Structure 1
Amino acid sequence: MRWHTTNYKHHDHETGVPVNRGWWLDDLPRLILACRLFGHRPVVDGYGPHKRGLDARRWVVCDRCGVRPDPHGNLDPDEWAIGEPYTEPIWKDGPSARFVTSFRKAMPQVPHHVPSPPGAWPARPTGSISGQMILGRHHGLLHIGLDIGAAGDEDTLAFRISINPLFWFSVQTEGFGQWLQRRLIPTGYETRQIGVLLDGWQLHWKLWARQGHWSRDQPKWWEGSVNLDLAERLFGPKRYAYTNAAGPELAWVHLPEGDSYQVQLRLKRERFGRPKSRRPAMSWSVEWESDRPIPVRHRHDGKSGGITSAAVAVADDAVTNNLWVTAACAQISATVAEQRTRYDYRPKAAEEGDNR
């Protein structure tokens, strides 16, 4: 048995998270008491329908504990179906994995898919348990979930629970829980998920949903969400809306380092609020676009990484006094200067000066 941990906080430099640690327990002995008392229950496992042109493999596994012989064998898909009991004898002194590997190396002309019997059952099957503990802020408000891995997954079972901003805890097993896995997912290679997630005012649920896979043909009760925000249900979600107010106008942006860039400006009236709300937040913004990138940082290839378009906010007084072009150029210059300071960028001598 081996135990080790790692401190993820040192790698991620997270703020508001005093503890973020992962842990592993490897080479844990599996009890498999029923199999030790009554013996293993060998069945045929594998993948692929046996049709012309399609790849298929068959091997032996214990239907009760999920342990495979060593080696697990290479059966003929023409003769053995997945889930069928394996009725041939499995000898304690059967071919070992070292023997099969040595034989294939000595006889490279023998194809790997040639049928071969399974070896002996492992005398001391082991598994592992791992997990992660986070204390502090994280994503979501409340989350409880259980994943049941398929036969090809690294994790057999995975459980997680979190309450933001208190803690986030997860635990995964490898090998442990294979009896439940084989009862619930006897065939296929799709992990199933069960859980609920409360993120803001949105409640998400998964009831036997397929991990990383969604189809419009699947039952609706597998996964879904409901909005608990009463204001959003009555007045609609908050959204931004823009209308053209003036422009386009050409202007020059002068940066503190001495370089200048011509930009095209468009004044926009910005509305933020719910569609049915009578009091949305109104403001002004200016969209700008440059014919060539304004460099703000050095790239790995030695060139300068820059921006060609963005938007900045301008005050109501600037629009009222028809000074929105001047205000927008000043705001663009300040924004670019701030980014250059953040990335420690200094323009080259060829880029300095007035480029007009």
Structure 2
Amino acid sequence: MVSEPFGLAGLGLLLVAIAIDLLVGDPHWLPHPVVVIGRVIARLDRGWNHGSPEARKTKGVVLTALVVLGTYAVAWLALAALAWWHPWLAALGEVAMLATSLAIKGLRDAALDVARPLARGDLVTARAKLAMIVGRDTQTLGEGEITRATVETVAENTVDGITAPLFWAFIGGAPLALAYKAVNTLDSMVGYLSPQYADFGYASAKLDDLANWIPARLTTWCLWLTAWFVPGARPHGALAATYRDAPRHPSPNAGWPEAMMAHLLGVQLGGTNYYQGRVSHRATLGQPREALAVAHVFRAIRHMHAGWLAFVLLLAIVALLWEAMT
């Protein structure tokens, strides 16, 4: 690893990676580590996800360890090889890896891809774009439900796609950031409570819960603190209300940014979703002070940007304190 944990040098590399992500995002013509990780998971899923519940759970633990540790090892060895050639090559390699672990531009663009046709009244296109970023059925959703799904996605992925990778990168550089992405990918592919994955994906789901626990709560605070400077936000009472509502979410982490976003926007998130025709009822978050409409997507994106900027500032403060103490 080029950068030291908690150091200003590492923070500098992170800032360069953020700039790259904001400018170019994830070009489709470039191979992405998450795609490779996903292919490995899919192959092991096909080969290992069978047998008794105990056997599935054991193989799920092995799957999780193999994918996460393997990702870390490959990234670390690649940087070590680059450093052997020249330190600047290692720095460039680490920045490139860090940029692939972030999804600031990708998350913003995905939300805007839904919001723009929705603002024109083109529900068909908005539903199709939404179906690309959520797992729920979208064929019959109206403006309010399309907005709700998009805002929930922006809130949850502010952690998964931005602040959690930043958090782990700050601690362990690009190898740990990519290891986190491996955890996140495992959870999205096998971390379900369905009969097929309840045992096989158990370890993956629990590790994802652990990896996101601190970032989710820090992000919630950052969203609240910056909301005082965002026009139209409702920060008064939002923090206490979030502490009341967040534990009602089925995820121990996703409920925190979602509840905070709901209260800051003055809308109600959660409720009833359909997945392949099957109904799923979730606790509601926030109060419906405003009817959900496409404008809330644009406001959620503003909160997302304010939140991650505050998160980076928090990391900078920690880096300065760390440098002063060492």
The structure that is helix-richer by fraction is 2
* TM-score relative to the length of structure 1: 0.20
TM-score by length of structure 2 reads 0.22
